[in-house]
Amino acid sequence: MWLPASFLCFSPEVDVAAGIVVGVLGIDAVRHANDRRYLGLALIPVILGIHQLVEAVAWWGLEGKVDAATGESAITLYLALAFVVVPLLVPLAIVGIEPDLTRRRWMVPSLVAGCVSASVLALALAEGPVRAAIGGRYIAYSVQLEQGGLIVVLYVVATCVPLLLSSHRRLVTFGAANVVVVAGLSWLQAIALISLWCAWAAVGSIAIAAYVRSAAVRHPDGGTGPKLPHRSITV
C-alpha cells in the first residue's frame, strides 16, 4: 500500500520562517542542557527546525525553482528525518530523563516500536519509489509500504506514549495535548484543508526549550548533585 505523509506547512516561506524560529529555540535548549541527560530532549527542536528548512527546499524543487536533483534529495532527507530520526529520538529522549526505573521499563515497548517503525520506513525509503506533489497549501508525500497501518500505529506509540508515561507532570500534560492536536491536524489534513504541523512544531519547541531551561535552573550542577527520590520527581 501507499503510506501518505503530508504533514506540512502553508508555503516554503512559512517553512523557512518556522525553521529559523524552531531552530533557534532548539539551539537555546541545547545551550541550557547542562545535564547531558537532557541533551536528547533539547535536540528535538533542532531536528524539527532542520526539518522545516529542508522542506522549503523540497517545495522549491517541486516548483522548479531549484534543480530536480536538489529537490529530490530534500524530499528524501525530509522523510528520513520524519520517518527514521523522530521515532528513535523522541522515546530515547524521554527515557533518558525519566528517574523512575519502573516507568522506564514501561517505556521499553515504545522504544521497540520506534526501532521497528524506523527500520521499516528506512527500508521503504531506500527501496522507493517516493512520491511528492504540492496539494494546495501543503506537500503530499507517499511511500510504498507493506502493512502501512501497523507501522503508523507503531510510529504513534513511539512518539506519543513515552510522554504520557513520564513522571514529569509537564511532559504528561504536553503529551496529552500532543495526542489531541495530532488527531485534530490529521483530520484537517484528511479533508484537504490547510496543514498546520509547522505551527505545532513551533509550539512544541517552545515547550521543550522552556522545560530544558527550567531543568537547568533546578539542577545548576549539571545533574552531579544528589538524586531526588523517584517519587518526588513531579515537575
Q: Are 215 and 35 in contact (CB under 8 A)?
A: yes
Question: With bands split at pLDDT 50, 70 and 90, how would you rate the model's confidence at 185?
Answer: low
Average the pLDDT over 71-83 and give the result.
91
* CB < 8 Å & 24+ apart, contacts of 152-157: 152/3, 154/87, 154/113, 154/114, 154/116, 154/117, 155/83, 155/87, 155/113, 155/114, 155/117, 155/121, 156/182, 157/109, 157/110, 157/113, 157/114
Instruction: Please list the helix, strand and coil fractions of the chain in percent, rounded to the nearest 5, in that order.
Output: 70, 5, 20
Question: With bands split at pLDDT 50, 70 and 90, how would you rate the model's confidence at 226?
Answer: very low
Most confident of the ranges 20-29, 189-198, 212-221: 20-29
Integer Rg of the chain from CA: 18
* CB < 8 Å & 24+ apart, contacts of 170-177: 170/207, 170/211, 170/235, 171/94, 171/211, 174/204, 174/207
Average the pLDDT over 18-29 and give the result.
88
What residue segments make up the domains of the chain, in order of their start?
A: 2-220
Average the pLDDT over 212-223 and give the result.
65
Residues 115-164 have pLDDT tens digits of: 999 999 999 999 878 888 887 677 888 888 877 778 888 988 998 899 99
For 11: left if phi > 0, alpha if psi spans -120 to 50, otherwise beta; the answer is: beta
Residues 125-137 have pLDDT tens digits of: 998 788 888 876 7
